[in-house]
Amino acid sequence: MASSVHLCLLRAVFLVCFFNPLIKGLNGDEGVIQNPHHHLHENITGLPIVTFKWHHVETPYLVVLWVFVAGLAKLSVIKLSHRVTSVLPESGLLIILGFILGGIVWGADKAQTFKLLPPTFFFYLLPQIILDASYFMPNKLFFSNLGAILIYAIFGTCWNAATVGLSLWGCYEAGAMGNLDISLLQFLLFGSLIAAVDPVAVIAVFEEVHVNEVLFILVFGESLLNDGVTVVLYNVFDAFVTLGGPMIDAAEILKGIFTFVVVAFGGSFLGVVFAFLLSLLTRFTKHIQIIEAGFVFVVGYLAYLTAEMLSLSAILSITFCGVCCQKYVNANMDEKSVTTVRHAMKVLANGSETMIFVFLGVTAIDTEIWVWNTGFILLTLIFIFIYRVIGVFLLTWMLNKFRLVPIEVIDQVVMSYGGLRGAVAYGLAAMLDEDSIPEKNLMISTTLIVVYFTVILQGVTMKPLVQWLKVKRAAHSDLKLIEKLNNRAFDHILAAVEDICGRIGDNWWTRGWNRFEENYISWLLMKPKARKNRDYLFSIFHKLNLEDAVKYVSEGERQGSLAFIRSDEAANVDFKKQFGSEFSNYELGIENFSVTSIVKDTIPSVSLNIHGQDRKNAVDDTNAHHLLQQHLYRSRKHHRHKYSRNHFSINQSEDEVQEIFQRTMRSRLESFKSAKMGVNQAKKITKHHKKELTHKMANGHPDGKGHLYGDEVDSAVGSETGIINSTFMRDTYTVGAGIENPVFLPDMDSHSSLPWLMETEAVAPSQRAQRRLPWTPNRLRRLAPMRISTCSTDSFLMADVSLTPEEHEELPQTDYDDMRPVFE
Amino acid sequence: MGASQSGREHKFQDLADKTGFSIEQIKNLHSRFKYLTQDEDTLRREHLENVSNLSINPIRRQIIEAFFDERNLGGHEKGCLQEIGFEEFVTVLAFFRPPKPRIPDEEVKIIRKEKLRFLFNMHDTDNDGVITLEEYRRVVEELLSSYETIGAETAKAISDGAMLEVASVTVGQMAPDEFYEGITFEQFMQILQNLEIETKMNIHFWNLDKTTMKCGK
């Protein structure tokens, strides 16, 4: 079935037109290339080297070609000049492009050989879009507005279907449409298929407009759910139509209503069940990590098909599957798999969205389907618009009586204007039974016109409207972490105040559910390990830090070296005051760590800011380059890509690790030697008090631009590295693993905690090299939560500063003892 | 009896005018107040601590403190009270009253400022007008304490990170010898301007009734 559908769907006629003559020509000219392969056996004269087997691959080839063409269409749309794309929404452009493609096909074949057939649409194009939309649904927002969304989706759709159907019927009876063969039931059927706001179109338009989040979730959630509702409604009316007018009595109508409820809620319930299964499944996929991402799609699709099989609402099923599983799936799966799912989901959804719009355009270029009836078409357009507005305002008026934050009038206007119809309506119209509905083609063409009208015209005017009405836009904020913290605090505060007032309110329910979810559902569906890291706040934090790290590295690489530029908006914050107090708890000797490294200007503090305004002189640059050359590991392309179907990683060669290790050791040794000269100086300097020094250092930069970067960073880094090194060396010494030059090690270890050594270490490898620290896995782990803290390159460094106290704590007492003689 | 009854009515009317609650709501709140205090005239901390659902709230200390914080009671004094009367109780709760629909922008701004001030006071435990890192850390630690998986270290890191965000937005670059003292109220308003607090820091008061009253304890 699939192949036949695809055959029909994706007859890339332009290809056929251009290739067929070619094929024929080839056949005529050369005997070797045989077109249909059954000829092969007949006039085979020798072993054919190359054969041309077009019919052999025709179907899949055309499918792929159409997909490819759709992709190209999207590309060309994106590449269009900005002026066009800023006016026309992408979806509209794709439809227009579809017109052109359809024109080509029609011009070549003299008939439309291609149509978007309902089964293709409902089985192969729609599910991934719905899954994508629901999988990325902002859960909290969705569920906190679920009541409103459901009311819009269910009652709004029913209202639209009933009023549009009835009004059209009324006008028909009044004679506004001339002579048509449509009964009341068929009008209602038409009303139900045209009622639903289409998620594909709505997302495509609203994504570009950035309205505020409540408005977005209302429109988006409504469009997603009312698709399900409209399909159900359609099926009910379709059954009525087949049954015929006279057969319908009160019992049948009651049955119809009952069906509606069962199908809609049964579908949703089925989706939740599948989400449950999927979440449970991902708990155990640890050992097949490479394919675990696939489960999301497969199970999602299964949810869809199963619902279809049970004649429940498939769209609702896959919607709820996506919405409910996301949390657990994301927590259970490996981070890479999560990324895979995200990307694959976007690829699929975006791809089929593009195809849908293109095909909607292509479908239009067909003389067969076009039946014009001005009255019917115009009245449909008008009624759809009017009843959408009335419905939205009516329902909102009722909702606002219960809502804490009423939906504003402006938002209501945008909501009603955002009633875009799309491919679902067309798919349903194309599914109509020609035998029982003689005016099927009129309905199809009306639907198509409605779709074009709403997507293109309303899509174009949506943005200006939103601007003109000054709709509250989505506020973009950089303050992700503090915002999340505040939201979290908020939830608790509100719940607490409700407790104090003794009221069982929304917050009470939310909290009750959260607790239940945490205690039972998460316990059942989540890996114990995942449950630990799952906290939302933590994940935000983690994500931000990952972003930072990536930015940090790419920034460095963009510079062509590992120079770290400072970003201008980043702040320079000094938490020294706070840390100062903590510092005082520790040994004096430790304080001197940072002190020495702050003060020693004689030794060029590395490359941290080649870009910088601070130190522009050439000497430093040369120094830095020299150092970088010396210390950085240059990849020698030792990566061996071992092919494996089960594992996906570049195996870091042992050599490389070893080499990094050796280089670091060598550099350390060198700096150690040279540092011996600096003993006196270091001693002298240690007498300064720390704060004084910070101050002094600031004065050291006459231009006042000696940000954190210059010395203070070094101090932080220096002290940190020093300690890292000392711990590290102790580790390696005791463990004795991978030591290449054992001669030096004992020697170094005994001196490892000397301050001047620490300080020269500040000159060592460049930040990134330090950051990578291949040598101390255990250290890295300890750093993990801390290191990943913050938002800019600078704050990265700040994190290091904030690290120092902990570092000191971790230093074993023996080190302090080592140090004391030096300072006293 | 009649006199005291009408006196109370009068007092309620005053309160309603002052806080914007309706008389109905005031009455409901009053019976709740009586219930919490076990028919005493003043509310003390332990009364609130006894509210069972509150005991699982990680930041209950801050919330309870907010009720006894003089800054929230309209006066200009600072400090903490040991017990509050009904009027203070209602005054504090009035911070959570949803604003009336369709009010002019200026009023929204005032309401927003008031609500933010309340929040700010909650964080600024030592009344010096600045939320220092120490104070903020404490807040975050408490906030995250119910999540046993987030250790104190992480909480610290998170609060540091958040503080850095604030600093980077509000202050910009600082010279190396400067240090960031903390969040002032102006900065606090600045960073939360997108939060639309006037639409969020609200709870329903309007359908308080006797049946739901019983559930708090």
Residue among B59, B140, B151 minimizing CB distance to A492: B59
| Residue A273, pLDDT score | 93
Residue among B53, B169, B181 minimizing CB distance to A478: B169
Cβ of B130 under 8 Å from any chain A Cβ? no
Q: B1-97+202-217, superfamily in CATH?
A: EF-hand (1.10.238.10)
> Which residues of chain B does A712 touch, with a Cβ-Cβ cutoff of 8 Å?
176
| Residue A713, pLDDT score | 38
Domain assignments of chain B as residue spans, ordered by start:
1-97+202-217, 100-201
| Residue A506, pLDDT score | 66
Q: At A344, is the pLDDT very low, low, confident or very high (cuts 50, 70, 90)? A: very high
Cβ of A435 under 8 Å from any chain B Cβ? no
Query: Which residue out of B29, B67, B154 would a mutagenesis test of the A interface target, given it has the greatest number of A Cβ atoms within 10 Å?
Result: B154
> Which residues of chain B does A483 touch, with a Cβ-Cβ cutoff of 8 Å?
194-195
- Separation CA A731–CA A751 (nearest Å): 14
Cβ pair A478:B165 closer than 8 A: yes
Question: What average pLDDT score do residues A707-724 get?
Answer: 40
The interface residues of chain B toward chain A in range 144-173, judged by CB-CB distance below 8 A, are 144, 147, 149-151, 153-154, 157-169, 171-173
> Which residues of chain B does A706 touch, with a Cβ-Cβ cutoff of 8 Å?
175-176
Query: Which residue out of B164, B198, B204 would a mutagenesis test of the A interface target, given it has the greatest number of A Cβ atoms within 10 Å?
Result: B164
> Which residues of chain B does A478 touch, with a Cβ-Cβ cutoff of 8 Å?
165, 169
Tokens of A296: 């999301």
Cβ pair B172:A571 closer than 8 A: yes
Q: How far is B3 from chain A (nearest CA, A)?
A: 28
| Residue A574, pLDDT score | 42
Cβ of B194 under 8 Å from any chain A Cβ? yes
Cβ pair A489:B214 closer than 8 A: no
Cβ pair A694:B58 closer than 8 A: no
Residue among B119, B122, B194 minimizing CB distance to A477: B194
- Separation CA A656–CA A547 (nearest Å): 26
Residue of A739 and A411 predicted with greater confidence: A411
Q: How far is A327 from chain B (nearest CA, A)?
A: 17
CA distances in angstroms from A185 to A45, A158, A350, A426, B162, listed in the order given: 66, 14, 36, 19, 61
| Residue B165, pLDDT score | 73
Question: What average pLDDT score do residues A192-197 get?
Answer: 85
| Residue A300, pLDDT score | 92
Q: At A480, is the pLDDT very low, low, confident or very high (cuts 50, 70, 90)? A: low
Q: Tell me: pLDDT of B5 over 70.
A: no
Q: Tell me: pLDDT of A547 over 60.
A: yes
Q: How far is B119 from chain A (nearest CA, A)?
A: 9
| Residue A743, pLDDT score | 42
Highest mean pLDDT among A26-30, A149-153, A609-613, B147-151 belongs to A149-153
CB pairs under 8 A between A and B: 228
Cβ of A485 under 8 Å from any chain B Cβ? yes
Cβ of B189 under 8 Å from any chain A Cβ? no
Q: How far is B83 from chain A (nearest CA, A)?
A: 15
Question: What average pLDDT score do residues B52-70 get?
Answer: 76
The interface residues of chain A toward chain B in range 125-154, judged by CB-CB distance below 8 A, are none
Cβ of A546 under 8 Å from any chain B Cβ? no
Residue of A807 and A362 predicted with greater confidence: A362
Residue of A572 and B85 predicted with greater confidence: B85
Report yes or no: A535 and B149 within 8 Å, Cβ to Cβ.
yes
Report yes or no: A422 and A198 within 8 Å, Cβ to Cβ.
yes
- Topology (CATH) of B100-201: Recoverin; domain 1 (1.10.238)
> Which residues of chain B does A480 touch, with a Cβ-Cβ cutoff of 8 Å?
165
> Which residues of chain A does B47 touch, with a Cβ-Cβ cutoff of 8 Å?
none
Q: How far is A615 from chain B (nearest CA, A)?
A: 16
| Residue A322, pLDDT score | 92
Cβ pair A494:B199 closer than 8 A: no
Q: Tell me: pLDDT of A417 over 50.
A: yes
| Residue A422, pLDDT score | 83
Question: What average pLDDT score do residues B131-160 get?
Answer: 74
Residues 6+ apart with CB under 8 A from A398: A151
Q: What are phi and psi of B69, to 5 degrees?
A: -90, 120
Start-to-end C-alpha separation, chain B: 30
Q: How far is B7 from chain A (nearest CA, A)?
A: 24
Cβ pair A405:B202 closer than 8 A: yes
Question: What average pLDDT score do residues A317-345 get?
Answer: 88
Residue of A702 and B103 predicted with greater confidence: B103
Ranking A58-72, A462-476, A551-565 by mean pLDDT, the lowest is A551-565
Highest mean pLDDT among A26-30, A90-94, A702-706 belongs to A90-94
CA distances in angstroms from A370 to A373, A444, A714, listed in the order given: 10, 8, 75
| Residue A81, pLDDT score | 67
Question: What average pLDDT score do residues A308-336 get?
Answer: 87
| Residue A752, pLDDT score | 41
Closest listed residue to residue A717, CA positions, set A591, A804, A812:
A804
- Separation CA A527–CA A280 (nearest Å): 9
Q: How far is B1 from chain A (nearest CA, A)?
A: 28
Cβ pair A572:B174 closer than 8 A: yes
> Which residues of chain A does B183 touch, with a Cβ-Cβ cutoff of 8 Å?
none
| Residue A284, pLDDT score | 83
| Residue A35, pLDDT score | 43
> Which residues of chain B does A498 touch, with a Cβ-Cβ cutoff of 8 Å?
203
| Residue A475, pLDDT score | 61
| Residue A629, pLDDT score | 57
Residue among A492, A499, A789 minimizing CB distance to B58: A492
Residue among A482, A483, A698 minimizing CB distance to B175: A698
Q: At B172, is the pLDDT very low, low, confident or very high (cuts 50, 70, 90)? A: low
- Separation CA B99–CA A405 (nearest Å): 9
Per residue in B30-63, is it b (16+ CB within 10 Å) or e — as a string? bebbeebbeeeeebebebbeebebbeebbbbebb
Question: What average pLDDT score do residues B9-29 get?
Answer: 78
Q: Tell me: pLDDT of A380 over 70.
A: yes
Report yes or no: A499 and A510 within 8 Å, Cβ to Cβ.
no
Cβ pair A499:B53 closer than 8 A: yes
Question: What average pLDDT score do residues A378-384 get?
Answer: 89
| Residue A390, pLDDT score | 92
Question: What average pLDDT score do residues A745-751 get?
Answer: 41
For A479, the closest chain B residue by CA position comes to: B165
Q: Tell me: pLDDT of A132 over 60.
A: yes
Residue of A174 and A729 predicted with greater confidence: A174
Question: What average pLDDT score do residues B75-95 get?
Answer: 76
Cβ pair A497:B144 closer than 8 A: no
| Residue A112, pLDDT score | 67
Residue among B32, B167, B196 minimizing CB distance to A573: B167
Query: Which residue out of B37, B43, B173, B211 would a mutagenesis test of the A interface target, given it has the greatest number of A Cβ atoms within 10 Å?
Result: B173
Question: What average pLDDT score do residues A579-607 get?
Answer: 38
DSSP B58: T
Cβ of B203 under 8 Å from any chain A Cβ? yes
> Which residues of chain B does A545 touch, with a Cβ-Cβ cutoff of 8 Å?
161
Q: How far is A330 from chain B (nearest CA, A)?
A: 18
For A785, the closest chain B residue by CA position comes to: B154
> How far does Cα A727 stand from its chain's mean position?
40
Which amino acid is present at A805?
A: P
The predicted complex's ipTM stands at: 0.84
| Residue A214, pLDDT score | 82
pTM, to two decimals: 0.66
The interface residues of chain A toward chain B in range 575-594, judged by CB-CB distance below 8 A, are 575-578
pLDDT tens digits, B90-106: 888 878 877 776 677 77
Question: What average pLDDT score do residues A543-560 get?
Answer: 74
Residues 6+ apart with CB under 8 A from A358: A69, A70, A73, A94, A95, A97, A98, A101
B1-97+202-217 shares its CATH topology with B100-201: yes
Residue among A489, A505, A533 minimizing CB distance to B59: A489
Tokens of A632: 């950085």
Q: At A632, is the pLDDT very low, low, confident or very high (cuts 50, 70, 90)? A: low
- Separation CA B212–CA A219 (nearest Å): 34
Question: What average pLDDT score do residues A804-818 get?
Answer: 41
Cβ of B108 under 8 Å from any chain A Cβ? no
Residue among B154, B164, B202 minimizing CB distance to A785: B154
Cβ-in-10-Å burial (0-12, 13-18, 19+) of A562 comes to buried
> Which residues of chain B does A574 touch, with a Cβ-Cβ cutoff of 8 Å?
174, 176-180
Q: Tell me: pLDDT of A808 over 70.
A: no
